[in-house]
Amino acid sequence: MPIATSNFLVPNFTIVFELIAFLIVLGVIGWFVLPILDKMLTERQEQIRSELEAADKAKEDAEEADTERRRALEDARSQAREIIAQATTTADQIVTGSEARAQEEYERIVRSADAEVAVARQTAVDEVTSKVGVIVLAAAERVVGREIRASDHQDLIDEAIAAVRSESEAGAPAGGTR
């Protein structure tokens, strides 16, 4: 068995070389790697800060848009209420106007019907009075048995016609009561 010549408690020059290599690696990392890492971390920090600012701005914009949307919605509701009120007023005016026109039309039709009835009544009275003379003469011929001339008894016929007209104008049916 060979005897060990080195003891781990006794320092040798290997540790010095390891220490120098460590310091060189640490120096290279400090001079070359750390500035790159620092630059990357700073850029990332700025990117995060700008994204947070953009998120805050977007939140403010969203709140403003929400406020504007609510305002526009309230304006639309207000306009809708005004339109409904105007439509109701217009509908009431149309209904009132239509009722007035319908009443006028009704009154015109009633007046027209009354006039037509009066004309028809007068026509009927005229027809009846013209035929009454002929009927009276025919009845008198049969009763008397001879022909009566209209010129002889014109006063009698005129009197009968006047009596029929006065009865028809008074509203009593011609020829007596029913």
Residue the block writes with tokens 């020059």: 13
Please give the pLDDT value at position 129: 77
Distance, in Å, from the CA atom of 131 to the CA atom of 149, rounded to the nearest integer, reads: 16
Contact 148, 141 (CB under 8 A): yes
Burial of 148 (0-12, 13-18, 19+ CB in 10 A): middle
Contact predicate 56/64, CB 8 Å:
no
Query: What three-state secondary structure class fits 177?
Result: coil
- pLDDT number for residue 174: 47
Question: What integer pLDDT is reported at residue 160 of this predicted model?
Answer: 74
Please report the pLDDT score of residue 3 as a whole number: 61
Six-digit token string for 157: 């016929």
Show the low-confidence residues of the chain (pLDDT under 50).
Answer: 172, 174-178
Confidence at residue 9, expressed as pLDDT on a 0 to 100 scale: 65
Helix axes 34-144, 154-169, angle to 10 degrees: 150
Residue 82's pLDDT is what?
95
Question: Would you state the pLDDT for residue 178?
Answer: 41
Q: d(Cα 159, Cα 121) in Å, to the nearest integer?
A: 20
Q: Where are the beta strands (DSSP E) in the chain?
A: none
The pLDDT value given to residue 130: 75
Prediction pTM value: 0.40
What does residue 10 show for φ and ψ, rounded to 5 degrees?
A: -95, 125
Residue 39's pLDDT is 95
Q: Is 152 exposed, middle or buried (0-12, 13-18, 19+ CB in 10 A)?
A: exposed
CA angle, 50 then 56 then 62, to 5°: 135
Q: CA-CA distance, 168 to 170, in Å (whole number)? A: 5
